[in-house]
């Protein structure tokens, strides 16, 4: 079984595969498979077992969830926590799922309309509600790699659902920062940021009844933007039907804008939501007040260099103000 190891200096967890790749494995050619050979396009014998699907009246699938082809985490077994001298590790218990967003290889959900994007959003919600029933799961991340070099290996529109037995360091830093801000000001930092961005307008890209889209003040990537719900809510699992419909429309518009402005760039996005409060309920007693679920979209149009990797300090080659201006002005088409 794969395992996760805790780096003792920074407290970062790292997944380690039980079967190491050989040097020549890294040298093999990579690239998207041809459309006729894509494993995500068609229902064939030998394909991964379907976990969840949305189908039309004829039975054809429109959105489907399957296990990841090469899962890092496994739902079977126990955590098996161990200490080895100063080091800590445990079994990689969790879930890796793929949400196939479109039955058509080259057609992303935003090109099929807000109704298809809504199916994707509703599937996110359904899977989160189901996965949170497992008491071993501490955090569920909904995320996406689109295009090379984002980490996409299929070229077929899909998202990923990863459930882990620990809270990843990047997520924990955000949770702790929000908690400290709330302890000092007794307000949600995300609500404050959203109010400030709407007051200034310099970085706001899109406003709707349920969401605000803006380029963050200290973005990490050129043309990075965040999507925040207007209603304060720490967990995506508690979204309403109206909010899901609004999110589908917002994602549809923003992805079309991004594609038109930057000529179909590779990007990643991550949905940040509250962790499971079951294992450490008392620790997260203010989570409902201090955290605010949101989506961060990061275009991968610039390589990260040694300074960024070594320092964690990013160099932004387009200001958030200019990025917001360009994104706001570009048409999202039909």
Q: Which of helix, strand or coil describes residue 325?
A: helix
200: region left, alpha or beta (phi > 0 left; psi from -120 to 50 alpha): alpha
Q: Residue 81 is encoded by which pair of tokens?
A: 């926590």
- Tell me, what DSSP letter sits at residue 213? E
12: region left, alpha or beta (phi > 0 left; psi from -120 to 50 alpha): beta
Place of tokens 């997944």: 15
Q: What is the reported pLDDT for 173?
A: 95
Report the C-alpha gap between 110 and 115 in whole angstroms.
9
- The strand pair at 225-229 and 294-299 is best described as antiparallel
Q: What is the reported pLDDT for 140?
A: 96
Residues 6+ apart with CB under 8 A from 46: none
Report the C-alpha gap between 186 and 283 in whole angstroms.
17
Continuous H helices in the chain:
114-131, 169-185, 189-200, 241-262, 287-290, 306-311, 320-329
- The strand pair at 225-229 and 267-272 is best described as unpaired
Nearest by Cα to 150 from 266, 259, 31: 266
Q: What is the reported pLDDT for 32?
A: 66
HSE (side-chain half, CA atoms, 13 Å) at 227: 26
Q: Give the Cβ contact number of residue 264 at 10 Å.
A: 12
Query: DSSP secondary structure string, 48-104?
Result: PPP-EEEE-TTS-EEEEEEE-SS-SSBSSS----EEETTEEEEE-BSEEEEEE--SS
Q: What is the reported pLDDT for 151?
A: 80
At the topology level, CATH places domain 36-71+94-302+312-329 in HIT family, subunit A (3.30.428)
Residues of the chain with pLDDT under 50: 45
């Amino acid at each position: 079984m794969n395992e996760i190891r805790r780096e003792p200096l920074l407290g970062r967890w790292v997944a380690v595969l039980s079967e190491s790749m050989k040097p020549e494995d890294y040298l093999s050619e990579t690239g998207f498979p041809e459309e006729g050979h894509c494993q995500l396009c068609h229902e064939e014998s030998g394909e991964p077992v379907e976990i969840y699907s949305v189908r039309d009246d004829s039975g054809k699938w429109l959105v489907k969830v399957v296990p990841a082809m090469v899962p890092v985490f496994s739902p079977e077994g126990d955590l098996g926590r161990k200490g080895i001298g100063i080091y800590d590790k445990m079994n990689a218990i969790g879930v890796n799922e793929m949400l196939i967003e479109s039955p058509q290889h080259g057609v992303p959900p935003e090109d099929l309309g807000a109704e298809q994007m809504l199916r994707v959003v509703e599937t996110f919600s359904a899977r989160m509600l189901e996965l949170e029933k497992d008491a071993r799961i501490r955090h569920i991340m909904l995320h996406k790699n689109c295009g090379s070099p984002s980490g996409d290996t299929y070229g077929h529109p899909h998202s990923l659902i990863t459930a882990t037995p620990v809270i990843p360091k990047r997520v924990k830093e955000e949770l702790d920062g929000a908690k400290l801000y709330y302890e000092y000001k007794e307000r949600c930092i995300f609500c404050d940021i959203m109010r400030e961005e709407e007051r200034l307008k310099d970085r706001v890209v899109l406003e709707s009844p349920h969401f605000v889209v803006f380029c963050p003040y200290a973005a990490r990537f050129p043309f990075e933007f965040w999507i925040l719900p207007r209603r304060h809510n720490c967990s995506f699992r508690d979204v309403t039907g109206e909010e899901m419909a609004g999110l589908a429309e917002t994602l549809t518009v923003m992805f079309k804008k991004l594609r038109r402005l930057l000529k179909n760039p590779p990007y990643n996005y991550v949905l940040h939501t509250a962790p499971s409060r079951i294992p450490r309920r008392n620790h997260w007693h203010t989570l409902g007040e201090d955290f605010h679920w949101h989506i961060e979209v990061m275009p991968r149009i610039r390589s990260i260099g040694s300074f960024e990797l070594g320092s964690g300090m990013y160099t932004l080659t387009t200001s958030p103000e200019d990025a917001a201006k360009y994104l706001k002005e570009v048409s999202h088409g039909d």
